Chain A
Amino acid sequence: MTQGDPQIGKSIPRPNARRLLQGKGRFVADKVLPRMLHAAFVRSPYAHARILHIDLAAARALPGVVAVYDGPAIAAQVVPFVGILTHMTGMKSPPQPALACGVTHWQGEPVVMIVAQSRALAEDAAGLVEVDYDPLPPVCDMATALAPDAPLVHPDLGTNLCWERRIDVGAVDDAFAQATHVVERQFVIGRHTGVTLEPRVCIYDYDGSEERLTLHYSGQVPHMMQAVLAKHLGLPESHVRVIAEDVGGSFGIKIHTYGDEIATAVAAKLLRRPVQFAADRYESFLSDIHARDHRVWARAAIDEAGSLTALEIDDLTGIGPYSVYPRSSAIEGNQVLNLTGAPYRIPAYRGQLRVVFQTKVPTCQYRGVGHPIAVAVMEGLMDDLAAVSGRDPAVLRSINLIADDAYPVKSPQGMLFADLSHQACLTRLKALMDYDGLRAEQAALREKGVHRGIGLVSMVEITNPSPAFYGVGGAPIAAQDGATARLDASGEVHIANSVTEQGQGTETVLAQIAAQVLGLDPARITVTTGDTATVPSGGGTWASRGAGIGGEAMLRAAQALKQQITGIAAAILQCDPETLDLANGAVVDAQGQARITLQALAQMVYYRGNELPPGLATELVATRHFRVEGMPFVFSNGAMASYVEVDAETGIVRLLGHWVVEDVGTILNQQLVDEQIRGGVVQGIGGALFEECHYSEEGQLQNATLADYLVPMAGEMPDIQIAHVVTPTRTSALGAKGAGEAGTTGAPGAVMNAVNDALRPLGGQISQMPMTPERILRALGIIEGPLHDEA
């Protein structure tokens, strides 16, 4: 690396956050384009219905309405999209129309689009649209979706099964037969959704004179969107520009292809005027992707020494009526299959996954993507095994966690682990939280009838994926990223990168990397991300890859620029470039003396080339790309604990504390990493205690408002203490792994284990999330009712 003032690893505040504090954000809805129009949608009120007739006359006649489109009108302009990944053998999904054509498949599916002078007028017109529906049987219960007499979501498909997969490694049945202890449980994870504070919003601007489409985008993956728009609207990619500036939260919600957004693009193209679509909160609940709708039956076995001998899971997940394009809706279940048990040595494993269609809002990748479920399941079983074998839960884990010096290790599911630190994280966690002290406190309070619980989890997280993740399956999703570093004529540095910023601090971390290499103050570096016209082509933000992959590309680009600078400086100073370094905005010699400022060098290069030695290469701009090689992904790992108090009379859970020890490899900016973890933990707590999309038997979403869908608010959340173990990944020079999803991955399992730890003396156990007060009281036998339910 370099000798400059160390910037990597410093917790500097984010230079680009200042303007957000002053109300100077540049979110999509803040942009006003000339002659911009606004879209609103008529959405299906039924889970499943045939569209018999649509009457648009009254809507079209309303003053201020510019255009009204139905499904076929949009379909004529769009190449259909199908959310299949070819490497997931056997996956089925029909092509998804942007607006429903002939049949609607979920309550909330867009049916008609109105484009008008204002959103209010568009909504007025939407109220005048008449649609005759013929309701069809809904498919709302994943448990019965595969029954032979179940109504089919897509009759032409002949099945409600989107995908299935089975893994069977080792002598699983023998292991269970011979085990000392076997535990089994049925887990139900409630469907929930991202609830980004800024709803989905886009402005499509089509310039008919040059046939160029510009998307002002709130999302994580501008290049993917560029490819998708080009392909499905029949435009050359070079004529599609996607610009992401400020994004008000995404968490995976905004990386998918939405019919209403594609329809908005079509409208802009047909009308040759900018069209904005901003989802309101109600339609967000009915159209943003949902996630995590799973029923997992699982069992695990240990021998007399407490070592795991076998693990078996059966995961049934209900997605929407389509596998979402282009990432597919089977990845979440696939990750449950692949990652349950990941921290442990398990000789025999059987896993089955079935992904079934439902007439509910489509589901797809949302922060954590399957990990939270895998962790909750395994860690729940571990606590059960600890209880039945009379062991402390931390002791049972330390018996079974893969040893820190055992790597590389391959799991029965074929996951390749390297550079992990499960044992060290658990040891550190116990110290951080004063595990023994809390156990003593718990015991003392139990005597007084106060029910506190401690829940532990150990976990891995997929980060820094390689092209084996999506590209191999035919999706236009890059797993490599690029960075450009440039010294301008005034001696200032500009960097551009294909990873993107949604507030996690990507731009700051990239500036820190470049600053360290180039000997500068990070706040002076101008950072560009999110604009396909001006940044290298790459993958953007997903699967916790920004720091690890974008950062590595940045490192290489900055190093290349540094070489250019020192090469030119050496030619000017007539010395060996190896003796030169960069510090404090200047080229310095071996004694640390500044010999020429970057400004002076740049001015000479750009304006006074006559003073340079002939034939000297004078580029002051370098672009480098990076992809992970040798491993499909770079795992990170951590351990987490939750401490709760359960009021056994009301079922209300109080979160007393939360601790995280996370190994993200090289830490680029600890404050930013810790804040990502905190935000992720609270998001995970949402799924554990509060968040659920309540569906009626008819497939109607019952709680599509923020008053009824409960997101975590400040009043109920704990303070979260974080520590780190540092095991750099050897797949890059930086050694940084991803950190964005760790909090969400572990928190639900930790809280569930804590609640169950509190309930154990009372004879109750809960295996369904969210753990509402009513479900907890049912688990305690205080309220009657089924242990698992839909409501």
Chain B
Amino acid sequence: MKITLTLNDELISAEVEPRQSLVDFLRALGLTGTRSGCEHGVCGACSVRVAGQVVRGCLMLAVQADGEVVETIEGLTATAEIADLQDAFHRRNALQCGFCTAGMLLTAQDLLLAQAAPTRADIRAHLSGNYCRCTGYQAIVDAVAEVAQARAAR
């Protein structure tokens, strides 16, 4: 099936098999920043943005993205939309192996766009669907809290 979508600000067309998931489709295009960790929607490593909303790339088919606006970690990096989050994560070592990181960043940004002053509990709750095995989450919460405060101050 042919699909057309806006991917990280680029209009593209592609032939896809209906059974191909969105995350597999994106990775096959070389956008490997989005990762596959469970293929049943629980770990959050496959998080991408579709129509401005964070979704599980493993629970969406590429064919469903036809006509949609899709953004990945590469796109958000290119526009510098999450540069402050990336910087805070880096300074606070809010990542170790890096496998969950794209999903964490996208989900954290999703929270910050919706809530200007999230509490630590709010941050933990919003990230509660993103699995990290390395950090134990605290540094991630610290980084998001720091960015929330900095953005509010601007």
Quick check: do A and B touch in the complex, using CB within 8 A? Answer: yes
* B91 smallest CB distance to A (angstroms): 5
Q: Does A281 contact B (CB under 8 A)?
A: yes
* A126 smallest CB distance to B (angstroms): 15
* A40 smallest CB distance to B (angstroms): 13
Q: Which residue of chain A lies nearest to B133 when distances are taken between CB atoms in the complex?
A: A249
Inter-chain residue pair count (beta carbon < 8 A):
169
Which residues of A sit under 8 angstroms from B132, Cβ to Cβ?
197, 714
Which residues of A sit under 8 angstroms from B127, Cβ to Cβ?
714-715
Q: Which residue among B17, B33, B91, B93 has the maximum number of chain A CB atoms within 10 Å of its CB?
A: B93
**Partner pick for A251 among B20, B99, B133, B138, CB 8 A cutoff:** B133
Which residues of A sit under 8 angstroms from B120, Cβ to Cβ?
719
Flag if A22 contacts B33 (CB, 8 Å).
Answer: yes
**Partner pick for B72 among A14, A17, A23, A502, CB 8 A cutoff:** A23
Flag if B105 contacts A681 (CB, 8 Å).
Answer: no
**Partner pick for B32 among A14, A25, A196, A720, CB 8 A cutoff:** A25
Which residues of A sit under 8 angstroms from B19, Cβ to Cβ?
120
With known contacts A197-B45, A675-B135, A706-B43, A23–B34 Cβ distance under 8 A: yes
Q: Does A503 contact B (CB under 8 A)?
A: yes
**Partner pick for B39 among A24, A280, A502, CB 8 A cutoff:** A280
Interface residues of A in 94-123 (CB under 8 A from B): 120
Which residues of A sit under 8 angstroms from B124, Cβ to Cβ?
714-715, 717
Complex Cα distance, B88 from A17, in Å, reads 12
Complex Cα distance, B138 from A439, in Å, reads 25
Flag if B95 contacts A20 (CB, 8 Å).
Answer: yes
Which residues of B sit under 8 angstroms from A502, Cβ to Cβ?
96-97
**Partner pick for A197 among B17, B93, B97, CB 8 A cutoff:** B97
Flag if B131 contacts A706 (CB, 8 Å).
Answer: yes
> Range of interface residues on chain B?
35 or more
Flag if A719 contacts B73 (CB, 8 Å).
Answer: no
With known contacts A198-B97, A678-B138, A23–B73 Cβ distance under 8 A: yes
Q: What per-residue 1/0 map shows which CB atoms of A677-696 lie under 8 Å from chain B? A: 01111110000000000000
Q: What per-residue 1/0 map shows which CB atoms of B71-92 lie under 8 Å from chain A? A: 0111001000000001001111
* B106 smallest CB distance to A (angstroms): 10
Flag if A679 contacts B136 (CB, 8 Å).
Answer: yes
Which residues of B sit under 8 angstroms from A17, Cβ to Cβ?
90, 93, 95, 98
Q: Does B40 contact A (CB under 8 A)?
A: yes
**Partner pick for A24 among B33, B89, B91, B97, CB 8 A cutoff:** B33
Q: Does B65 contact A (CB under 8 A)?
A: no
Flag if A13 contacts B93 (CB, 8 Å).
Answer: yes
Q: Which residue of chain B lies nearest to A677 when distances are taken between CB atoms in the complex?
A: B136
Flag if B34 contacts A21 (CB, 8 Å).
Answer: no
| Consensus secondary structure, chain A interface | loop
Which residues of B sit under 8 angstroms from A720, Cβ to Cβ?
136, 138
Flag if B73 contacts A22 (CB, 8 Å).
Answer: yes
* B41 smallest CB distance to A (angstroms): 8
Flag if A717 contacts B95 (CB, 8 Å).
Answer: no
Complex Cα distance, B95 from A13, in Å, reads 11
Q: Does A672 contact B (CB under 8 A)?
A: yes
Interface residues of A in 584-634 (CB under 8 A from B): none
Q: Which residue among B35, B137, B139 has the maximum number of chain A CB atoms within 10 Å of its CB?
A: B137
* B22 smallest CB distance to A (angstroms): 15
Which residues of A sit under 8 angstroms from B54, Cβ to Cβ?
none
Flag if A715 contacts B125 (CB, 8 Å).
Answer: yes
Flag if A18 contacts B90 (CB, 8 Å).
Answer: yes
Flag if A247 contacts B95 (CB, 8 Å).
Answer: no
Question: How many residues of chain A get a CB closer than 8 Å to chain B's CBs?
Answer: 53
Interface residues of A in 22-41 (CB under 8 A from B): 22-25, 27, 29-30
Flag if A675 contacts B139 (CB, 8 Å).
Answer: yes
Q: What per-residue 1/0 map shows which CB atoms of B36-68 lie under 8 Å from chain A? A: 111110110100000000000000000000000
Complex Cα distance, B120 from A18, in Å, reads 25
Q: What per-residue 1/0 map shows which CB atoms of A172-186 lie under 8 Å from chain B? A: 000000000000000
Complex Cα distance, B141 from A196, in Å, reads 21
Which residues of A sit under 8 angstroms from B141, Cβ to Cβ?
714, 719
With known contacts A197-B133, A249-B133, A705–B98 Cβ distance under 8 A: no
Q: Does B109 contact A (CB under 8 A)?
A: no
Flag if A20 contacts B140 (CB, 8 Å).
Answer: no
Which residues of A sit under 8 angstroms from B105, Cβ to Cβ?
21
Q: Which residue among A21, A678, A681, A715 has the maximum number of chain B CB atoms within 10 Å of its CB?
A: A21
With known contacts A675-B139, A717-B124, A20–B101 Cβ distance under 8 A: yes
Flag if A23 contacts B74 (CB, 8 Å).
Answer: yes
Flag if A22 contacts B74 (CB, 8 Å).
Answer: yes
Q: Does B14 contact A (CB under 8 A)?
A: no
Flag if A22 contacts B140 (CB, 8 Å).
Answer: no
Interface residues of A in 164-206 (CB under 8 A from B): 194-199
Which residues of B sit under 8 angstroms from A335, Cβ to Cβ?
none
Q: Which residue among A14, A675, A680 has the maximum number of chain B CB atoms within 10 Å of its CB?
A: A675
Q: Does B116 contact A (CB under 8 A)?
A: no
* B88 smallest CB distance to A (angstroms): 10
With known contacts A21-B95, A197-B131, A682–B89 Cβ distance under 8 A: no
6 further A-B pairs in the complex, CB-CB below 8 A; given A20-B97, A22-B86: A20-B98, A21-B101, A249-B97, A249-B99, A714-B124, A715-B125
Chain B residues in the interface with A (C-beta under 8 A) = 17, 19-20, 27, 31-40, 42-43, 45, 72-74, 77, 86, 89-93, 95-102, 105, 120, 123-125, 127-141
Going nearest first, the 10 A-B pairs with the smallest beta carbon separation are: A23-B33, A20-B98, A503-B96, A248-B99, A503-B97, A682-B136, A715-B128, A23-B73, A678-B136, A706-B42
Chain A residues in the interface with B (C-beta under 8 A) = 13-14, 17-18, 20-25, 27, 29-30, 120, 194-199, 246-249, 251, 280-281, 502-505, 671-672, 675-676, 678-683, 705-707, 711-715, 717, 719-720, 743
A to B CB contacts below 8 Å, 10 in the list: A17-B90, A20-B95, A22-B74, A23-B74, A25-B98, A280-B39, A503-B98, A706-B38, A706-B40, A714-B123
